[in-house]
Amino acid sequence: MHTNTIENITEDEGSQTKKNTRAYKKMGQQTIELLNNFNTGEEISIFDFSIEQARDIFNPIFQSSSAPYLVIAEEVHKTIEYDGLTLSLIELTPEGDAPSDGWPVLLFLHGGGWILGDYPSYEGLAKATCYHTKAKVIFVDYALSPEAKYPLALQQVCTTLKWLNSQNDQLNINPNRIGVIGDSAGGNLAAALCLFNQQSTAPLPIKVQCLIYPLLDLSLDTDYPSRITCGDGEFFLSRDHITWSRNHYLTKPQQSEDVLVSPVTADKLNKLPNSIIVTAGFDPLQDEAKAYHQKLISAGNSSLLIHFPSTIHGFLSFSANLAIANTGIKRICQTIKEQL
């Protein structure tokens, strides 16, 4: 059973270019420079724009912040009608020969608060995951809010898992080597998928869930210390962003108490997949992720916490700017590969 925490500090510590507060002394220099670029001093907020405008601003930033895409063998875009739902999927296949019993496969669930994010903005991270894990990746281009409300995105994710299990021969995949990886809101969907699958009458095999700086608690009275100390907007993600996402994702506030919306509140956590939980030292969401890790361990599951103390929420998407992002995705993928 994994209970250890991995500390990854590859950036220079300290700052000569930003205010020398106690917090910034522990932040990597490249992360400081990235935040300097974000925090230009202009009074511009994502909340000042329409949803369409916010997407036009956010998605290209993530797309341009990715390092050059790693080479994979094949990229196939698919629209599937299955079990009464329309699924938009991108299938990524790594280079090399498939194992004799079929490819391991990862469902990839992107972040963006259920509102932002798409395949172009996550293409670099999805292809890096495919490249480093040597697994087939199925990117789920789920329906975004507020056009689609909870639980449609989760239903699409759960249906994709069913579809995968019906396509073993066609996709040349191993149904006993399926995992799920998601960041931020995608980490929420990944955790919810595993809980939903665990509760079903005929659960499908999921070997590993990798939750990357996941948003795991949408409860209205949530008050984690990290949300207070890191959530004023100075470190990329704010408490206001979380509230904005919740308000657009849910039809009514009471849904925030559903364990498939706030997985950290779940009580029945036994027999879940091996878990890899990734946190960042300046992320408002780190405390709920650490709490979920501890609850998984207490329920008898295997869970490994990988902590990156010198950087921020979303750092893996900034691989063109942050060495820690490239180090981090390699380390995370190696751990997935070992468990998948």
User: Which residues carry out catalysis?
Assistant: 184, 283, 313
Neighbours of 81 (CB within 10 A): 9
User: Which residue, chain included where needed, has tokens 């095999």?
Assistant: 205
Structure tokens at 280: 């960042």
DSSP 262: S
User: Which residue, chain included where needed, has tokens 């079903």?
Assistant: 200
Measured between alpha carbons, how far is 175 from 158 in angstroms, rounded to an integer?
A: 15
Measured between alpha carbons, how far is 209 from 320 in angstroms, rounded to an integer?
A: 26
Provide the 3-class DSSP secondary structure of residue 145.
coil
Residues 340, 82, 245, 297, CA torsion sign: negative
Residues 269, 271, 273, 275, CA torsion sign: positive
Q: Which amino acid is at 11?
A: E
Measured between alpha carbons, how far is 314 from 278 in angstroms, rounded to an integer?
A: 11
Give the gyration radius of the chain's Cα atoms: 19
How many Cα neighbours within 13 Å face the side chain of 135?
Answer: 28
Contacts of 135 (CB under 8 A, 6+ apart): 94, 103, 104, 105, 106, 129, 177, 179, 336, 337, 340
Q: Residue 6, class by beta-carbon neighbours within 10 Å (0-12 exposed, 13-18 middle, 19+ buried)?
A: middle
Provide the 3-class DSSP secondary structure of residue 196.
helix
Beta strands 173-183 and 103-109: pairing type? parallel
